[in-house]
Amino acid sequence: MTGPEGAPPHLVVHPDKERMARATAARLVTAVVDAQTARGGAHVALTGGRNGNALLAALAGAPGRDAVDWSRVDLWWGDERFLPDGDPDRNHTQAREAFLDAVPLDPARVHPMPASDGPHGDDVDAAAEAYAAELAAAAGRGGGTGGGPLPFDVLLLGLGPDTHVASLFPGHPAVREDRRAVVGVREAPKPPPTRISLTLPAVRAAREVWLLAAGGDKAEAAAGALAADDPLRTPAAGARGRERTLWILDEAAAALLPDSARG
């Protein structure tokens, strides 16, 4: 795998995590409305973690949320913990509590990654292949490129303290994947060890990639990833959109960035 591809990062720094969540929710509403105007629908890939869930909670209460036709929004996930359906640690479970039940989504357009008690049982590779097939089918229905990874309108990612994004960890075999859109992840360094994740090629198929980081514990990772050029060692450095890459930070996460990096 070569160095970073796609649109170079653009930084947006907010005073604190609360204002970051509210402003990003408003930004996402605008992006979804624009996508629906241009293409009839919108595809958004969600992320979990504290920043992803804070964004979803802010989106559920956003004043402008009703500008979106939620029945024409497809929701996907960038990664998932391979646990039973409804497990409180699953990103899908947390998203439902924070957001999914608050808006009139079409259930057929909500695409959680398979659970470990689903039709594929504990075969994480089969579960990953099934999700890749679902993505490919959606790409074939419109907005896709030759049956390849779906070009999400917006793909949200959280930044890990070790610079991981989705479930792509530094030096892990999954971050080296250059062909498949979705992979099973075993022996992840962060529990639980078994996960499903989009790959960097799938991430790079997105029109826009937004990376979220709030808190001083993310400052070193943000500074390191923005200066890095090796996605194998620093996965966040390889997370770029085809048209736009946004790094959305609060002041604490941006504390180690030079002034020149803020544009």
- Looking up tokens 């971050």 gives 175
Q: Which residues pair with 73 in a beta bridge?
A: 42
Position 11 scores a pLDDT of: 97
Asked whether residue 147 carries a pLDDT value surpassing 60, the answer given is no
SS3 225: helix
Domains and CATH numbers, the chain: 9-262 (3.40.50.1360)
What are 42-51's pLDDT values in tens digits?
999 999 999 9
Look over the chain and give the mean of its residue pLDDT values, rounded to a whole number: 93
Asked whether residue 36 carries a pLDDT value surpassing 90, the answer given is yes
What are 75-126's pLDDT values in tens digits?
999 999 999 999 999 999 999 999 999 999 999 999 999 999 999 999 999 9
For the segment 238-247, the average pLDDT, to the nearest whole number, is: 97
Comparing CA positions, the residue from 224, 252, 263 lying closest to residue 19 is: 252
Asked whether residue 144 carries a pLDDT value surpassing 60, the answer given is no
Q: Which residues pair with 212 in a beta bridge?
A: 158, 248
- Looking up tokens 């792509």 gives 168
Position 5 scores a pLDDT of: 78
For the segment 19-33, the average pLDDT, to the nearest whole number, is: 98
Alpha carbon distance, N-terminus to C-terminus of the chain: 28
For the segment 234-256, the average pLDDT, to the nearest whole number, is: 97
Q: What stretches of the chain show up as alpha helix (H) in DSSP?
A: 17-39, 49-60, 91-98, 124-141, 200-204, 219-227
For the segment 64-82, the average pLDDT, to the nearest whole number, is: 97
Position 148 scores a pLDDT of: 52
In this predicted model, which residue has the larger pLDDT, 5 or 80? 80
Asked whether residue 6 carries a pLDDT value surpassing 70, the answer given is yes
Task: Using alpha carbons, list the distances in angstroms from residue 142 to 39, 45, 68, 91.
Answer: 9, 17, 20, 27
What are 217-238's pLDDT values in tens digits?
999 999 999 999 999 999 999 9
Comparing CA positions, the residue from 104, 110, 101 lying closest to residue 45 is: 110
Tell if the pTM clears 0.85, that is, is over it.
Answer: yes
> Which residues fall within 8 angstroms of residue 191, CB to CB, at 6 or more apart?
none
Instruction: Indicate the pLDDT class of residue 194, thresholds 50, 70 and 90.
Output: very high
